[in-house]
């Protein structure tokens, strides 16, 4: 094993990152594992950190830090007290690092921990050749899940959590926003029994992938009359479930306009600005159920996501984007910020 490795590090409060040589630890702490990272994916939140966006600058975290939280790899060593992992296990990354002591942690809601820390923000992440992680941040996964799709287990879990919260079985559903997690949510909603799924996006390429993932109709924001067409096709009732993935304030409001009275609205996307909502007509008189979601339920969501992939019930191939080596991380982030659909991967070259 090499004594040093390379990692993509956020070294200061400004745009960009650096490829830094780091030393492999001689020993591991209690409940720590050493992972050989095969692939790491670039999430939109990683782009925000990379660009040092205003929302990131307003909530600073310790620097320097190794970036990244979506990955797959192999356990090389385990520290004292590790119980769930052994050398050779294939793993994927759980972003949440709960305290284990607060009310939420003690009542089965670790993902809502009051003292929650995040992989790639508060502790070193996975955009590296190797990663030393707390045991709870490395989830053992079935060996039959394809490598590239295993790297996307974390965002798939978000999609599963959102669709689960929506209660989509037997319902008409709209997914607002067709980024990677929105596209995953389409596939999950199909498996979970949605009768008809509408998808919206500004991007024709993403809408094409939405159809591949199982959408009934894919509507282009800005040219199609999203509200009018969905209401017309639902006898003016609207859809039973809205899952908002874009974070666009206009789309958030639009979601309530197409939500059936008594329907369920699941908020996932982080708003890019203030949201002005007419509360009485949108929520109160509509008796709408609104719920936000944060990450994945530990470990209920994971089990469902693993079975979706391992049992061949969902295929994430349409969501996988270009792959770059770790040293090409700058090109990888440029690709992630482009309009090209697909989750960008960093790490092993194909065939390695």
Q: pLDDT digit string (tens) for 315-349?
A: 999 999 999 999 999 999 999 998 788 999 999 65
Task: Write down the pLDDT at residue 325.
Answer: 96
Residue with the bigger pLDDT between 338 and 21: it is 21
Q: How far apart are CA 332 and CA 213, in angstroms?
A: 24
201 pLDDT band, cuts 50/70/90, is very high
Task: Write down the pLDDT at residue 351.
Answer: 47
Q: Is the pLDDT of residue 59 over 90?
A: no
Q: pLDDT digit string (tens) for 253-282?
A: 999 999 999 999 999 998 877 899 999 999
Task: Write down the pLDDT at residue 231.
Answer: 98
Residue 308, SS3 per DSSP: helix
Q: Is the pLDDT of residue 1 over 60?
A: no
**348 Cβ neighbours under 8 A, 6+ residues apart:** 38, 39, 147
Q: Is the pLDDT of residue 192 over 80?
A: yes
Among 84-93, 178-187, 220-229, 333-342, the range scoring the smallest mean pLDDT is: 333-342
* Distance linking the first and last C-alpha atoms of the chain: 17
Average of per-residue pLDDT across 47-52 = 94
Task: Write down the pLDDT at residue 61.
Answer: 84
Task: Write down the pLDDT at residue 172.
Answer: 98
Among 29-43, 53-67, 214-228, the range scoring the smallest mean pLDDT is: 53-67
Q: Report phi then psi at 240, rounded to 5.
A: -80, -25
Q: CA 98, 99, 102, 107 torsion: positive or negative?
A: positive
**332 Cβ neighbours under 8 A, 6+ residues apart:** 42, 322, 324, 344, 345, 346
Instruction: Quote the mean pLDDT of the chain.
Output: 95
Average of per-residue pLDDT across 206-216 = 97
Q: CA 84, 137, 88, 81 torsion: positive or negative?
A: negative
Domains and CATH numbers, the chain: 4-152+316-347 (3.90.180.10), 159-292 (3.40.50.720)
Q: Give the pairing of strands 18-23 and 4-10.
A: antiparallel
pTM to 2 decimal places: 0.95
Decide if 171 contacts 177 (C-beta within 8 A).
no
Task: Write down the pLDDT at residue 271.
Answer: 86
Q: How many helices (H) and strands (E) does the chain have?
A: 12, 18
Residue with the bigger pLDDT between 94 and 58: it is 94
């Amino acid at each position: 094993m090499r004594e040093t490795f390379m990692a993509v590090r956020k070294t200061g409060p400004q745009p960009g990152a650096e490829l830094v040589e780091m030393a492999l630890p001689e020993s591991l702490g209690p409940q720590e594992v050493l992972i050989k990272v095969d692939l790491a994916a670039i999430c939109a939140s990683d782009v925000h950190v990379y660009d040092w966006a205003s929302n990131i600058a307003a909530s600073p975290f310790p620097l320097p830090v190794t970036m990244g939280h979506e990955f797959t790899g192999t356990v090389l060593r385990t520290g004292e007290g590790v119980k769930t992992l052994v050398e050779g296990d294939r793993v994927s990354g759980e972003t949440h690092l709960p305290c284990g002591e607060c009310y939420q942690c003690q009542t089965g809601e670790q993902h809502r921990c009051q003292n929650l820390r995040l992989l790639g923000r508060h502790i070193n992440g996975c955009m590296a050749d190797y990663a030393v992680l707390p045991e709870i941040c490395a989830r053992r996964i079935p060996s039959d899940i394809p490598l590239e799709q295993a790297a996307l287990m974390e965002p798939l879990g978000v999609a599963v959590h959102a669709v689960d919260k929506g209660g989509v079985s037997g319902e008409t559903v709209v997914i607002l926003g067709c980024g990677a997690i929105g596209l995953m949510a389409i596939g999950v909603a199909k498996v979970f029994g949605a009768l008809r799924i509408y998808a919206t996006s500004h991007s024709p390429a993403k809408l094409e992938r939405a159809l591949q993932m199982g959408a009934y109709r894919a509507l282009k924001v800005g040219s199609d009359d999203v509200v009018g067409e969905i209401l017309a096709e639902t006898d003016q009732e609207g859809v039973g479930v809205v899952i908002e993935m874009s974070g666009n304030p206009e789309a958030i409001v639009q979601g309530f306009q197409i939500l059936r009275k008594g329907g369920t609205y699941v908020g996932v996307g982080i708003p890019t600005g203030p949201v002005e909502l007419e509360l009485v007509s949108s929520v109160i008189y509509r008796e709408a159920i609104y719920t936000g979601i944060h990450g994945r339920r530990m470990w209920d969501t994971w089990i469902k996501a693993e079975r979706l992939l391992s049992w061949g019930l969902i295929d994430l191939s349409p969501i996988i984007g270009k792959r770059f080596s770790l040293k090409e991380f700058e090109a990888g982030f440029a690709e992630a910020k482009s309009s090209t659909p697909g989750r960008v991967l960093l790490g092993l070259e194909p065939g390695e």
